[in-house]
Chains A and B, each alone.
Chain A
Amino acid sequence: MTNRSFAKGLLAAVVASAFSVLTPAFAWEPTKTVEFIVPAGTGGGADQMARLVQAIIAKHGLMKESVVVVNKGGGAGAEGFLDVKGSKGDPHKIIITLSNTFTTPMATGVPFNWKDLTPVRMLALDQFVLWVHAETPYKTAKDYIEATKKAGAGKMKMGGTGSKQEDQIITVALEKQTGAKFTYIPYKGGGTVATQLVGKHIDSTVNNPIEAVAQWRAGNLRPLCVFDDTRMPYKDKVTKEMSWNDIPTCKESGVDTDYLMLRGIFMPGGVTPDQVKFYVDVLEKVRQTPEWKKFMEEGAFNQTALTGKEYADWVAKADQIHYGLMKEAGFLAPGK
């Protein structure tokens, strides 16, 4: 830095600190457009959430600089994660994650780990529900599992999004817990999976609430249980008879399996605590907006939203759980 620009910087700092007495400004603020990376394609759950966050920030003027959403979904998200990993120290980049943060490096051997990133905060947890066609006789998860066992190994078809990712992991966990055996059929997107179930090309799915809700309301699908340890809190009626809260947990129905998917934000490694705090605060404001709350309710999300050390601990634990499940299922890449 030359002397002159140093003097300028000093002056700017003095002016800034003078202003900070008047208005509670942040210690650090983005100085250019922030790139919001989605390690998945356009139109999916992570993409929707990222674009909603972007829209809320723009509408409520929560940031001076703008945010652009960039999809880098190649290699089951590896493209996006490697980009962020390679941007060490860049505070103008954030990434929204789904379970592929854990599963992609384990299944494909692509060299990255969540520890290469800086955890910012959790936005929410996405639920999974066991769905069957409404015309089938299964009223509870137990009925369905019994029928699956009775039909014989591999006769019942479980459809899901992607391979060796959350949907298949849940299927494996379910099999391990109950002894039933499914044939897992991977599709490219959650919406397709729901329609395939409506068309009876598969026997069950573990769709997220938001992926299947429209078909549930139309009377085509029936939810059997939610893969969480407590029921979903939303008590407004979704169909004529039922609310999200009326769906029992899988544990209640005697199929003790749970799984939640992280919807969280990370930054590249090597950023300062001030920079992390900026995003934590902005995202907290996003969470307080009515638009966000409405979205949470419509998608029946689990609104746990950890920050700081608790968040990092949660992520570390989730990593462990995934490793255990993937190992047992034989999904790990050689050498992992």
Chain B
Amino acid sequence: MEEIRSLMGGFAVAMTWVNLALMLAGVSLGVLIGVLPGLGGANGVAILLPLTFSMAQSPGGATSAIILLSCIYWGALFGGAITSILFNIPGEPWSVATTFDGYPLAQKGRAGAALTAAFTSSFVGALVAVILITFISPIIAKFALRFGPPEFFSVYLLTFSAFVGMAKGSPFKTITAMMTGFALAAVGIDTVTGQLRLTFDIVELLAGFDFLIAVIGLFGIGEILLTIEEGLEFRGAKAKLNLRVVLDTWKELPRYWKTSIRSSAVGCMMGIVPGGATPASFMAYGLAKKMSRDGEEFGTGKVEGVVAPETAAHAAGTAALLPMLTLGVPGSPTAAVLLGGLLIWGLQPGPLLFVEKPDFVWGLIASMYLGNIVGLIVVLTCVPLFASILRVPFSIIAPVILVICAIGAYTVHNSIFDVWLMIVFGILGYIFKKLDYPMAPLVLALVLGDRAEDSFRQAMLGSQGDIRVFFSNPLVGTITGLALLLLFWPLLSKAIAIARGGNGR
């Protein structure tokens, strides 16, 4: 097959000692970047971009440069899970959903299992996406072109529905949390009218509420406040600390093959569309919760609850490079920076890149396989090391976490205002926990709120106000229909039960 031959050529390009060393360096650096909240993959890659400029001038150098940068990206994808699981602080937006079950697992003393599951699922997700890229990239690239505003909106609607329909607890609390998220997402410039909203002439609010700061505060600081109240210790302190935990977890993982396949599919689709890794992780978690036999117990520390979002996030993160290469449209913020890099190096992403620079493209694709293998080895061997952090007494680790959170919040915009904002969100997170309000809907609305709003209004502009545009072709109609079905599933299932059982008892 043509692709296999090209791929082997790619391996020949990627497998030089220099490139392998760059992969190792990139992945390690990426893990570090992923661990530090605030310093996201996009920032990390942007900072290193100028360094690669000289590198890209030598023959074959552009391939080495993209290998280094993309490996930072893989590393960040792996690394984001670490703090989510250990401290309930998502290092990256796409690891928020990983905290839902990852952190309870760590508290139960199964941090090693949670980390292993997260890393392995990440790897599986990436592998599926890379295989997809290798063999059917032209077909997928065309599929992505079919997404206009109505299609994007229906995908966001599906994400919300996948997550909302199954919310536990009081629906009013869920709605309150979600509306708060939407309100926060509306702050700043409005894409459609070009007007400022809800900024009250405060300079700091011009950029809106950054998702990362909210997340660091709500989850990280909120959690620390709770732990202080409940007594100064980590409940997960007695984690097993050897590599056996990796093997034990691996024995458990094949049981969740359905979730893996579903999450990979969701991830690949969201990466290509391009919706991005964050919605993918939420959607996969929501779907897993609905479809798994143990769905009811999600949130209490199920390995499956870690598998779902991590597989999807990594699949999406990897697949996001495809629209960047073939269409010149980045599927994620990090891909946007990589795209800038390609242009600076004098490469032109787009439909002809595969034809004109086969060495570069196939070298990159080969490096995706190798980079992820290198990444998996690096992070798995460090599992006991990461888990042992939980043995450090809380009175020592808490101030360290606080400092890391503060640095993270500061890094996002180099603004001290954000650090105060983080603390405010921390208090809000504490209150939410105390009053039993769910935080996930708030976070989801904050990260997807303005994108959903933009695409809805773009669709309305295009159709001149005709709402039927969301059913105007088979693609958008199917997604919208699926979303509505998921949204009303709780009501429908009750209705079905009533219809079947006469009086519903």
Alpha-carbon distance between A310 and B42 when the two chains are bound, in angstroms: 38
Alpha-carbon distance between A194 and B329 when the two chains are bound, in angstroms: 9
Question: Quick check: is A308 within 8 A (CB to CB) of the other chain?
Answer: no
Alpha-carbon distance between A291 and B329 when the two chains are bound, in angstroms: 24
Specify which of B42, B50, B148 is in contact with A199 (CB 8 Å cutoff).
B148
Q: Which residues of B contact A59 (CB under 8 A)?
A: 53-54, 57
Question: Quick check: is A113 within 8 A (CB to CB) of the other chain?
Answer: no
Would B149 and A185 count as touching, CB distance under 8 A?
yes
Q: Which residues of B contact A13 (CB under 8 A)?
A: none
Question: Quick check: is B146 within 8 A (CB to CB) of the other chain?
Answer: yes
Question: Quick check: is A32 within 8 A (CB to CB) of the other chain?
Answer: no
Alpha-carbon distance between A186 and B343 when the two chains are bound, in angstroms: 24
Would A195 and B194 count as touching, CB distance under 8 A?
no
Question: Quick check: is B337 within 8 A (CB to CB) of the other chain?
Answer: yes
Number of A-B pairs whose CB atoms are under 8 Å? 165
CB B221 to nearest CB in A, in angstroms, measures 23
Q: Which residues of A contact B337 (CB under 8 A)?
A: 42-43
Name the interface residues of A38-74: CB closer than 8 Å to any CB of B: 41-43, 47-48, 51-52, 54-56, 58-59, 69-74
Question: Quick check: is A187 within 8 A (CB to CB) of the other chain?
Answer: yes
Would B191 and A188 count as touching, CB distance under 8 A?
yes
Would B53 and A195 count as touching, CB distance under 8 A?
no
Binding-face segment, B344-352, B371-379, B430-438:
B344-352
Q: Which residues of A contact B175 (CB under 8 A)?
A: none
Would B189 and A55 count as touching, CB distance under 8 A?
no
Alpha-carbon distance between A220 and B142 when the two chains are bound, in angstroms: 12
Binding-face segment, A16-24, A137-145, A158-166, A241-249:
A158-166
Question: Given that A191-B339, A195-B145, A214-B328 are contacting pairs, would A69 and B46 also be in contact in the complex, using a CB cutoff of 8 Å?
Answer: yes
Q: Which residues of A contact B343 (CB under 8 A)?
A: 48, 210, 298
User: What does the 1/0 interface line of A206-222 toward B look like (CB < 8 Å)?
Assistant: 00001101110110100
Question: Among A41, A69, A189, A196, which residue has the most Cβ atoms of chain B within 10 A?
Answer: A196
CB B251 to nearest CB in A, in angstroms, measures 42
Would B413 and A72 count as touching, CB distance under 8 A?
yes
Question: Among A79, A213, A333, which residue has the most Cβ atoms of chain B within 10 A?
Answer: A79
Alpha-carbon distance between A215 and B57 when the two chains are bound, in angstroms: 25
Would B340 and A79 count as touching, CB distance under 8 A?
no
- Closest residue of chain A to B330 (Cβ to Cβ) is A43
Would A157 and B206 count as touching, CB distance under 8 A?
no
Question: Quick check: is A27 within 8 A (CB to CB) of the other chain?
Answer: no
CB B206 to nearest CB in A, in angstroms, measures 3
Question: Given that A42-B337, A186-B191, A186-B458 are contacting pairs, would A75 and B351 also be in contact in the complex, using a CB cutoff of 8 Å?
Answer: no
Would A187 and B458 count as touching, CB distance under 8 A?
yes
Question: Quick check: is B192 within 8 A (CB to CB) of the other chain?
Answer: yes
Would B462 and A164 count as touching, CB distance under 8 A?
no
Q: Which residues of B contact A187 (CB under 8 A)?
A: 191, 458
Question: Given that A74-B189, A186-B191 are contacting pairs, would A195 and B327 also be in contact in the complex, using a CB cutoff of 8 Å?
Answer: yes
- Closest residue of chain A to B144 (Cβ to Cβ) is A195
User: What does the 1/0 interface line of B454-483 toward A look like (CB < 8 Å)?
Assistant: 100010011010000000000000000000
Alpha-carbon distance between A280 and B352 when the two chains are bound, in angstroms: 38
Question: Given that A42-B337, A298-B346 are contacting pairs, would A75 and B189 also be in contact in the complex, using a CB cutoff of 8 Å?
Answer: yes
Q: Which residues of B contact A218 (CB under 8 A)?
A: 350-352
User: What does the 1/0 interface line of A169-192 toward B look like (CB < 8 Å)?
Assistant: 000000000000001111111011
Q: Which residues of B contact A215 (CB under 8 A)?
A: 327-328, 350-351
CB A30 to nearest CB in B, in angstroms, measures 17
Would B340 and A47 count as touching, CB distance under 8 A?
yes
- Closest residue of chain A to B52 (Cβ to Cβ) is A55
Alpha-carbon distance between A154 and B464 when the two chains are bound, in angstroms: 9
Alpha-carbon distance between A312 and B337 when the two chains are bound, in angstroms: 32
Question: Among A47, A55, A56, A213, which residue has the most Cβ atoms of chain B within 10 A?
Answer: A55
- Contact-size category for A: 35 or more
Question: Quick check: is B284 within 8 A (CB to CB) of the other chain?
Answer: no
- Closest residue of chain B to A163 (Cβ to Cβ) is B194
Q: Which residues of A contact B349 (CB under 8 A)?
A: 214
Name the interface residues of A214-247: CB closer than 8 Å to any CB of B: 214-215, 217-218, 220
Q: Which residues of B contact A331 (CB under 8 A)?
A: 194
Question: Given that A195-B327, A199-B148 are contacting pairs, would A48 and B193 also be in contact in the complex, using a CB cutoff of 8 Å?
Answer: no
Q: Which residues of A contact B49 (CB under 8 A)?
A: 51, 55
Would A199 and B196 count as touching, CB distance under 8 A?
no
CB B358 to nearest CB in A, in angstroms, measures 16
Would A191 and B329 count as touching, CB distance under 8 A?
yes
Would B195 and A79 count as touching, CB distance under 8 A?
no
Specify which of B147, B149, B194, B353 is in contact with A162 (CB 8 Å cutoff).
B194
CB B188 to nearest CB in A, in angstroms, measures 6
Name the interface residues of B117-168: CB closer than 8 Å to any CB of A: 144-149
User: What does the 1/0 interface line of B39-55 toward A look like (CB < 8 Å)?
Assistant: 00010001001110110
- Closest residue of chain B to A111 (Cβ to Cβ) is B201
CB B253 to nearest CB in A, in angstroms, measures 36
Would A157 and B462 count as touching, CB distance under 8 A?
yes
Specify which of B147, B199, B330 is in contact with A75 (CB 8 Å cutoff).
B199
Q: Which residues of A contact B296 (CB under 8 A)?
A: none
Q: Which residues of B contact A217 (CB under 8 A)?
A: 348, 350-352
Would A75 and B344 count as touching, CB distance under 8 A?
no
Alpha-carbon distance between A199 and B475 when the two chains are bound, in angstroms: 14
Alpha-carbon distance between A207 and B82 when the two chains are bound, in angstroms: 41
Question: Quick check: is A295 within 8 A (CB to CB) of the other chain?
Answer: yes
Question: Quick check: is A129 within 8 A (CB to CB) of the other chain?
Answer: no
Question: Quick check: is B242 within 8 A (CB to CB) of the other chain?
Answer: no
Question: Quick check: is B336 within 8 A (CB to CB) of the other chain?
Answer: yes
Question: Quick check: is A110 within 8 A (CB to CB) of the other chain?
Answer: yes
Question: Quick check: is B252 within 8 A (CB to CB) of the other chain?
Answer: no
Q: Which residues of A contact B192 (CB under 8 A)?
A: 163, 186
Would B351 and A191 count as touching, CB distance under 8 A?
no
Q: Which residues of A contact B189 (CB under 8 A)?
A: 74-76, 108
Q: Which residues of A contact B54 (CB under 8 A)?
A: 55, 58-59
Alpha-carbon distance between A165 and B191 when the two chains are bound, in angstroms: 10
Question: Quick check: is A122 within 8 A (CB to CB) of the other chain?
Answer: no
Question: Quick check: is B496 within 8 A (CB to CB) of the other chain?
Answer: no
Would A75 and B350 count as touching, CB distance under 8 A?
no
Question: Given that A52-B344, A110-B206, A199-B146 are contacting pairs, would A164 and B194 also be in contact in the complex, using a CB cutoff of 8 Å?
Answer: yes
Q: Which residues of A contact B193 (CB under 8 A)?
A: 163-164
Question: Quick check: is B1 within 8 A (CB to CB) of the other chain?
Answer: no
- Closest residue of chain A to B349 (Cβ to Cβ) is A214
Name the interface residues of A288-304: CB closer than 8 Å to any CB of B: 291, 294-295, 298
Question: Quick check: is B499 within 8 A (CB to CB) of the other chain?
Answer: no
Would A108 and B196 count as touching, CB distance under 8 A?
yes
Q: Identify 5 new A-B residue pairs, CB closer than 8 A, beyond the known A78-B206, A194-B328.
A: A164-B194, A183-B464, A195-B145, A199-B147, A214-B351
A–B pairs, 6, beta carbons within 8 Å:
A56-B53, A186-B194, A191-B328, A191-B330, A214-B349, A217-B350
Q: Nearest 10 pairs between A and B by C-beta?
A: A214-B350, A74-B207, A201-B148, A43-B336, A163-B194, A75-B206, A218-B351, A55-B53, A164-B194, A199-B145
